[in-house]
Chain A
Amino acid sequence: MSAVAVQIPPTLALPSRLDAMGGARTWLDAHARIAGFDPVASSELQLALTEALSNVIRHSYRSADNETILLSVLVDADTLTLTVRDFGDKFYRATLRSVDLGSPQVGGYGVYFIEALMDEVEWDTSVEQGNLLRMVRLRASGPRG
């Protein structure tokens, strides 16, 4: 029996629906595993992606379910870089209050999770429309939390 090589596309166009996030996680998990990240790291990457998507859908797109989110992943010797591109309302990180981990709250942990789980995070609002979120995870970084 001959082996079949399966290529996972490095880009994914996602509809702006919350129920589409599971498919995005599966796509990212495949890339992370192929790149050699262990299951814990892959789970952390998936959580960062989920939080990013949730924010885009609910805030940048104001829960409109007919928009598109573009994902890309790039793996090199040292890093996995994940980008999330939307064409909705601008997101200004500086306007968010930091979460107080000493005071449990209902919601508000999304951006904190992204920044805690990834080694580099940048929201680029200079793109003509919407936002470009770039998240980098170093291969060498260990589990979070």
Chain B
Amino acid sequence: MAEYLLAADRLGPVVVLRSSSAGDLTAAEAPGFRARAEAALGDSRLAIVDLAPFTFIDSSGLAALVSLHRRLSGLGGELRLAAPGRDVLAVLELARLHRLFEIYDTVPEALEGFAGSR
């Protein structure tokens, strides 16, 4: 299986995660995404996943996001989601996970909310 490509940009205390393996986040990609994301997060407590590269997500993709959320919440931090496409947002809403995550239209908007965070 090809290595999952995930870019991680550190902006102060916030890690912005953006897939370079664009397209799907399904049972096929979720393990690689999750492993790379956890490695990139290290000790960070605040993170944003840029969902713009994803055109399709399934329950395994959602599981990866929820898992990251739980990891950061357990550290007193937070995972935010940014820039979901129409279909990705629809799946988040179908699972009612739009109530769990703060979802922003853009990464800069998601970052703004973290500005006052420690």
Interface 1/0s, chain B 91-111, versus A by CB < 8 A? 101111101100000000000
What is the CA–CA distance of A54 and B28 in the complex, to the nearest angstrom?
9
Q: Are A18 and B27 in contact (CB under 8 A)?
A: yes
17 A/B residue pairs, CB under 8 Å, sorted by A: A18-B27, A18-B28, A22-B28, A44-B90, A50-B27, A50-B58, A54-B27, A54-B59, A54-B60, A104-B99, A104-B100, A107-B60, A108-B59, A109-B62, A109-B63, A143-B90, A145-B91
Q: Which residues of A contact B (CB under 8 A)?
A: 18-19, 21-22, 25, 40, 43-44, 46-47, 50-51, 54, 57-58, 101-102, 104-110, 112-113, 116-117, 143-145
Q: Are B28 and A113 in contact (CB under 8 A)?
A: no
Residues of A within 8 A of B59 (CB): 51, 54, 107-110, 113
What is the CA–CA distance of A22 and B100 in the complex, to the nearest angstrom?
28
Residues of B within 8 A of A58 (CB): 27
Interface residues of B, dominant DSSP: helix
Q: Which residues of B contact A (CB under 8 A)?
A: 1, 23-24, 26-28, 56, 58-60, 62-63, 66-67, 69-70, 86-87, 90-91, 93-97, 99-100
**Minimum C-beta distance from A28 to chain B (A):** 12
Q: Are A19 and B1 in contact (CB under 8 A)?
A: yes
Known: A43-B87, A50-B58. A21 touches B28 (CB 8 A): yes
**Minimum C-beta distance from B35 to chain A (A):** 15
Residues of A within 8 A of B95 (CB): 101, 104, 109, 112-113
Q: Closest 4 interchain pairs by CB? A: A18-B28, A109-B59, A145-B94, A107-B63
Specify which of A108, A110, A145 is in contact with B93 (CB 8 Å cutoff).
Answer: A145
**Minimum C-beta distance from B44 to chain A (A):** 20
Beyond A19-B28, A101-B95, 10 extra complex contacts between A and B, CB < 8 Å: A22-B24, A25-B56, A43-B87, A50-B58, A54-B27, A101-B96, A104-B100, A107-B60, A109-B62, A110-B59
